[in-house]
Structure 1
């Protein structure tokens, strides 16, 4: 039965696949990089490793993940861990081999340079998320429900704010976040960051 549930370790491969198939501003990025695994290793697998209790999936009738949301409740601590432990262990081979082209080089540079305090809105809105849905899960309200599920969990932990960064060219995502009450905040070139307070109801 289609629905939302907590992530399970058996979902890991499906979640990584969703990440790749939505990585190009919501479109399929398969084959875009020298190794498809670069995308999930940066944008979803570290969250599953460190905060599986804040990872939720939308499943199809066969209980296979077709969408997900992942989160770091404390961005500063997460980015330090990513920089000091995750990326040296999981990204060293790609860094040593060198990038196949400019976009890949930019992604690898971004991963290597992630650190606490790099995002100025991270202190006011300490949690951050990544959310992706395959076409089969889009346009049915699952994105809103995933974010509602996550924000409920964060409020229960006393987290005061949440932020995210989307590609500046992903018009559908930009409109979606605005509809859910996320407010645009100063952003790097080519991206748009959004933030939202999480006040107890």
Structure 2
């Protein structure tokens, strides 16, 4: 991309654009239309908690006033859970869910509750993140910039570790995480996506210790002084 891309903190007014990107990229980089017919409901469930107290160090990539991608995260599961409950209790939620589109989205919601993504130990990796880019922003270094800026903010806040859930279908994303030293911590074969992929997928839980260097340095200093 030739235009300069600004990485900036997320703002409340960004929710609509971030929700649209989430939906447009919600199926392994493609539109979530295939398995979730209700776009407003999808956006509210997947993005809403980060705009209602659950988010931390959330950033967007913007070029000429257009948001091209984002990184969303939460520093601990309890904080995110409270924000998700706020979303579910909002009086506006039923209006976002026309009956026909909601019924069409129900098979995925039921399967997701039956086949949840694996996660690593929340004590060691209390934060989580999601990153998504529009097709025109991929391969431009924007994802790398978003992730680097997000991790910097987590480290400055003293967060012990961060984790994320993905699948082996997301090859480009896996390469990005590998470059930042994320490592596989848990994995599981899941039939969640079989109706839409045509085969089971391998869910992965990746993690990165953010305090590792500090802890190792403290051990080394303790050993040298003994």
Q: Tell me which interval the TM-score lies in, with the shorter structure as reference length.
A: 0.7 to 0.9
Residue 22 of structure 1 is matched in structure 2 by 25
The answer to whether structure 1 residue 46 and structure 2 residue 46 are counterparts is no
- When the two structures are superposed, what TM-score results if normalisation uses the length of structure 2? 0.73
How far off is 1:148 after superposition?
0.9
CA distance in structure 2 between the partners assigned to 1:47 and 1:174 by the alignment? 23
RMSD over aligned Cα atoms: 2.8
String of CA shifts for 1:123-180, please: whole Å, max 9, x gaps: 2101000110001111011111111111111111110100000133222222221222
The answer to whether structure 1 residue 181 and structure 2 residue 181 are counterparts is yes
Task: Give the direction of change, closer, same or farther, for the CA distance of 1:76–1:168 in structure 2 (3 Å limit).
Answer: farther
SS at match of 1:186: strand
- When the two structures are superposed, what TM-score results if normalisation uses the length of structure 1? 0.82
161, 175, 194: which one aligns with 2:206: 194
The answer to whether structure 1 residue 151 and structure 2 residue 151 are counterparts is yes
CA distance in structure 2 between the partners assigned to 1:168 and 1:106 by the alignment? 19
Residue 136 of structure 1 is matched in structure 2 by 136
The answer to whether structure 1 residue 102 and structure 2 residue 114 are counterparts is no
Task: Give the direction of change, closer, same or farther, for the CA distance of 1:90–1:179 in structure 2 (3 Å limit).
Answer: farther
67, 71, 74: which one aligns with 1:72: 74
* Greater Cα shift, 133-142 or 84-93: 84-93
CA distance in structure 1 between the partners assigned to 2:28 and 2:156 by the alignment? 31
List gaps (5 residues or longer) in structure 1. Answer: none
Larger-gyration structure (1/2) = 2
How far off is 1:102 after superposition?
2.5
List gaps (5 residues or longer) in structure 2. Answer: 191-200, 215-226
Task: Give the direction of change, closer, same or farther, for the CA distance of 1:53–1:120 in structure 2 (3 Å limit).
Answer: closer
CA distance in structure 1 between the partners assigned to 2:93 and 2:19 by the alignment? 19
How far off is 1:40 after superposition?
2.1
String of CA shifts for 1:40-79, please: whole Å, max 9, x gaps: 223222112215552100111x222110001101123322
How far off is 1:106 after superposition?
2.5
CA distance in structure 2 between the partners assigned to 1:52 and 1:162 by the alignment? 13
Task: Give the direction of change, closer, same or farther, for the CA distance of 1:167–1:36 in structure 2 (3 Å limit).
Answer: farther
